[in-house]
């Protein structure tokens, strides 16, 4: 279901089907993401500052990619640390640590009547899925 909301990036109103940013910003993001991903391929140990200088993409945008689980902080070196938004533990990507994700998922399952924060929840599940894939690799 589409609803009208403000773009989290540029503040313009747009019709959202779950996205936090508008289509224009999304396209812009995709370009930046490709740049950052390409840079990291050549410089796998670069930290966020080097990536920012090398690509012209602002640091907070790079961190946003990590936070949303699109990039893994481990590829960006030690300086780029993401913290669990709930308990503050350092994590590699996403918004919550594995323990908090589990608790949140359980709380969610127990309380289906709670007003769902659809975007946040979707993010959480994507991150959880990614983490599961990662731990299988290790
Ligand atoms: Zn926008
Ligand atoms: Zn946590």
Residues near ion ligand 1 (CB < 5 Å) are 7, 9-10, 22, 25
Ligand 1: distance of its center to the CA of 100 in Å? 30
Q: Which ligand is nearest to the CA of 7?
A: 1
- Higher-scoring residue by pLDDT: 3, 93: 3
Q: What is the mean pLDDT of residues 28-46?
A: 88
pLDDT score recorded for residue 113: 55
Burial category of 137 from C-beta neighbours within 10 Å (exposed 0-12, middle 13-18, buried 19 and up): exposed
Does an H or E element contain 99, and which?
A: helix 98-110
Domain ranges of the chain: 22-137
pLDDT, one tens digit per residue, over 72-123 is 755 565 455 678 888 988 787 788 888 999 999 998 888 765 455 555 555 5
pLDDT score recorded for residue 13: 94
- Asked whether residue 56 carries a pLDDT value surpassing 80, the answer given is yes
Contacts with 11 (C-beta within 8 Å, 6 or more apart), sequence order: none
């Amino acid at each position: 279901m589409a609803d009208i909301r403000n773009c989290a990036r540029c503040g313009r109103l747009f019709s959202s089907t779950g996205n936090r940013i508008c289509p224009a910003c999304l396209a812009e993001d995709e370009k930046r993401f490709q740049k950052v991903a390409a840079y990291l391929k050549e410089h796998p140990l670069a930290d966020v500052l080097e990536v920012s200088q090398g690509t012209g993409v602002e640091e907070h945008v790079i961190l946003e990619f990590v936070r949303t689980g699109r990039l893994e902080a481990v590829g960006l070196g030690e300086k780029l640390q993401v913290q669990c938004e709930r308990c503050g533990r350092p994590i590699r990507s996403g918004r919550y640590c594995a323990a908090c994700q589990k608790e949140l998922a359980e709380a969610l399952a127990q309380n289906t009547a709670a007003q769902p924060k659809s975007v946040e929840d979707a993010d959480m599940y994507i991150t959880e899925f990614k983490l599961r894939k990662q731990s299988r690799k290790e």
